[in-house]
Amino acid sequence: MAQGSSVKLDDYREVAPRGAVDFLLRIGERLQGRRLVHVSASRYAGSVVETLNRLVPILNDLGVDTSWEVTIGGADFDTVTRSVGRALAGTEQVITEGMLGRLRDTCADNARRLQLDADLVVVGRRSRSLRRLVLGSVSAGVARQAPCDVLIVR
């Protein structure tokens, strides 16, 4: 496959178990015309990104209108998120009510901003944690705002 070209399901015939591609094509026939939206925190790092970089073009190739939305936040959001993560991992951090409020606001803004007009929205969640209890989660916010079914995967 040429660099920069879109991935097609047929590209996997030589490496997939026999019958797997045909099975996926049959499933795709049943899903044609549906709209699917994936939501993640980044387009640039992590296993979710590696998966979605391949999955979104393949689903579109199957006739499933598939898009990928990314949550956003300013530098402050990223800094506070990292501080909360370190605190939950046991490293002492200063986390103020104002910081938590900005995190909550950013999560709520993302849930309202994302284009969630779909038959199904797929969003990941990291884990059950104190952070989720304190802040809420992007996945929970998306589930509240989406006008359709939401699949939250971990």
Q: 9-153: what fold?
A: Rossmann fold (3.40.50)
Q: CB–CB of 79/110 below 8 Å? A: no
Please spell the DSSP secondary structure of 52-78, one letter per residue.
HHHHHHHHHHTT-EEEEEE----HHHH
Domain ranges of the chain: 9-153
Considering only residues 134 and 36, tell me which one the structure prediction assigns the higher pLDDT: 36
| Whether this model's pTM surpasses 0.85 | no
- What pLDDT, in 10s, does the model give residues 87-132? 877 889 888 888 888 888 887 888 788 888 899 988 776 555 544 4
User: pLDDT tens digits for 41-53?
Assistant: 777 777 778 888 8
CA gap 149, 1 in Å, rounded: 35
